[in-house]
Structure 1
Amino acid sequence: KAFNTVIQSLFKGNNGRDALNLYREMTEVDKGFIPEFSSFRMLADGLLNLGMDDYLISAIELIAEKANFRESDVSAIRGYLRIRKFYDALATFGRLLDINNPRWTYR
């Protein structure tokens, strides 16, 4: 919960890049851990509110690729992202994260 408070504070200060970097570090996205969707959703909302759509797309792409989701699921997410339907992409992404145990690790 303290982590979420720090992320929210960074967004209030319009520090979206710092929030994204902290999120990556805290959830160890690059080291193989899938983040909990509730935290990711907070990050996504903050990035969208700051107009940092490309950063959100990069974060979703990174996790989807590393989590080894089925190609058909990733295609659906990418389709929504291409047409800028971010909340539809997030709904699909959240469903995939919830299907997999949030503590599950990927290769």
Structure 2
Amino acid sequence: KARRTQAALKLLRGMRMKGMRPTPKAFNTVIQSLFKGNNGRDALNLYREMTEVEMADKGFIPEFSSFRMLADGLLNLGMDDYLISAIELIAEKANFRESDVSAIRGYLRIRKFYDALATFGRLLDINNPRWTYR
């Protein structure tokens, strides 16, 4: 929040290297700061780190409000394809039913991002009402 994004990013990664698990709030703060600095790719990469298994064999499945922050940032920067890959990553990690994922993919194909996000958000909230490690 003090606009020391690179220092915060270094601290966050240092925590992970020492086997510590940063909180979702810590990740969100750095991701928001990256978007404010128009570093959408770095924000997405950090989001992927947060969700992937590499975090001591456990990643985050986000609540929708956190994912929506990422989605809005990517859409504002015109990074639609990155949003699509982020949705695919979370849908796979959260083990959504194929029928649910098909509906989301349909919206994404026709570039109805906010309809896709509404469906995706409903599924995230149903399957994971809080931030958890999986």
After TM superposition, the score normalised by the length of structure 2 is 0.70
Higher RCO (C-alpha under 8 Å, 6+ residues apart): 1
Q: Structure 1 residues 90-99 or 63-72, which shifts more?
A: 63-72
SS at match of 1:31: coil
Q: CA deviation at 1:26?
A: 2.8
Larger Rg: 2
What CA distance in whole angstroms lies between the structure 2 residues aligned with 1:2 and 1:22? 11
After TM superposition, the score normalised by the length of structure 1 is 0.85
Judging by fraction of residues, say which structure has more helix: 1
RMSD between aligned alpha carbons? 2.4
**% of aligned pairs identical?**
100
Q: CA deviation at 1:104?
A: 8.1
Structure 1, residues 58-84: CA drift from partner, whole Å, max 9, x if none? 010111122211111101000000000
Distance 1:65-1:27 versus aligned 2 partners, 3 A rule: closer
Distance 1:62-1:3 versus aligned 2 partners, 3 A rule: closer
Contiguous gaps of at least 5 residues in structure 1: none
Asked whether the 8 Å contact 1:67–1:105 carries over to 2, the reply is: no
